[in-house]
Amino acid sequence: MFKLKIILITGNMGKLKEFNELGRKYGIEFTGIPGPKIEIQSEDLREVAAYSAAVALTVLRKPLMVEDAGLFIKSLDGFPGPYSSYIFKKIGYEGILKLMKGVKDRRAFFKSVIAFADPQIGIKIFEGFVHGTIAERARGTLGFGFDPIFIPEGYSRTFAEMQVHEKNEISHRGKAFKNFANWLNNSFKS
């Protein structure tokens, strides 16, 4: 199996751990660096990830990946959506639980957008989704971000109650990565 090294533009060590776990079975290893990353403000995660990847590619000129994800809560009209990272830093999952107090419709989904950038190929976009609900209270200590309050459809545990390999099998990030890995495999078969 070939070994491909890709730079992952992130300062989030939880995200880097998930990507390295995902990449292991495909022969892909990620090195995380926090930048260069410029995030534009947009309602479209595809635009955010693609722009960040394009900026990083002009500086680094090496294969790299940027992933942007968002939690979209139906009863909050999709909030926090593309602003999930910022909202998490400001109010955390505790703030989301306060906003959801007494709300019956707790449906939500996570969306992941991966932008892979390469000097010869350009930028390719891959997406993944997972539907679920917002828990009544935070549960679990694994994962990161909103993981303690998100219960994926068909499960009774939150992402934060799952080991990384379990979460990767069903998560938005895992699905987007599998789309990327399938494209990579089909594009570079010998």
Residues marked as catalytic = 68
What Å distances lie between residue 35 and 31, 39, 56, 94, 124, CA to CA? Answer: 12, 11, 7, 29, 19
Residues 6+ apart with CB under 8 A from 90: none
**Alpha helix ranges (H) inside 61-148:** 84-99
Whether omega for the bond prior to residue 80 falls within 30 degrees of 0, making it cis, is: yes
